[in-house]
Amino acid sequence: MDVPASVATQRKQTTALVPTGAVASARPVIPAPVYILNSRFIIGDLGTVNPTDIADIVVYRSPSVPALWRSLAANGIISITLRNKFKLQTQTPLSITRGLKLASQVKYKVNGLLLEDTSLRIVTSDIAGLDVTRATPESTDTFVNIRLIQSEPNPSRNPPNTIQIRGTAAR
C-alpha cells in the first residue's frame, strides 16, 4: 500500500493512517507555550498536574532558553518542577518512529516546532496525533510532527464578544 506524503494518525493508539486533509480542526490553533515537566517530559495539558505538587515554575522566552530547548521557544517554554515523583506513561521520539515503522532519517517536531532534544519524553495521553511528512528529492529528511492536546477554553467564563475592562472609572 502506498502511503501519501503527508499523513496523520487520529489518536495515540491508532495505527491506521489517514490523509492530513481529512482531519479538520473545529477551532483555530492558538500558539501556546511548550510545557516541560521536571526537565524531562513534554506535556500538552496542565490538567494532570496538581497545583500543590508544584515546587518551581520557570517561564523562558528567547534568549534565556537553555540551548537544547531553543528550537521549542517560539511561543515560550514553561518549565515546571514538581515536589514529588510523578508517574507518567511516556514515549520517546524514537519509539514513536518505531511504531510508525519509518526507516529513513527522521526529524521530530512538537506542534510544528523542531525538537532538537530527543531525550525529552512525550506524555502518551497528551498526544493528539502525529503528522508524517516523508522525504522528497528537495528535502532528504522525514519529519514526524507530534501534535499535543490543547486545553479547551471555558466559553461560559468569557463568552464571545465579551469586553473586559480593568481599573476603576473616575468622575
Concatenated DSSP letters of 9-22: ESSTT----EEGGG
Contacts of 45 (CB under 8 A, 6+ apart): 126, 148, 149, 150, 151
DSSP 97: H
Specify whether the CB–CB gap between 28 and 153 falls below 8 A: no
For residue 72, CA distances in Å to 60, 115, 118 come to 10, 7, 12
For the chain, 171 residues long, give each residue's pLDDT as a single digit of tens. 333 333 343 333 333 333 344 444 445 556 788 999 999 999 887 877 888 899 999 999 878 889 889 999 888 899 999 988 778 899 999 899 888 888 778 999 999 999 999 899 999 999 999 999 988 888 888 899 999 987 665 656 677 777 777 777 666
pLDDT value of position 1: 34
The β-bridge relationship of strands 54-60 and 77-82 is: antiparallel
First vs last C-alpha separation in the chain: 74
C-alpha cell at 40: 524531562
Amino acid identity of residue 13, one-letter, is Q
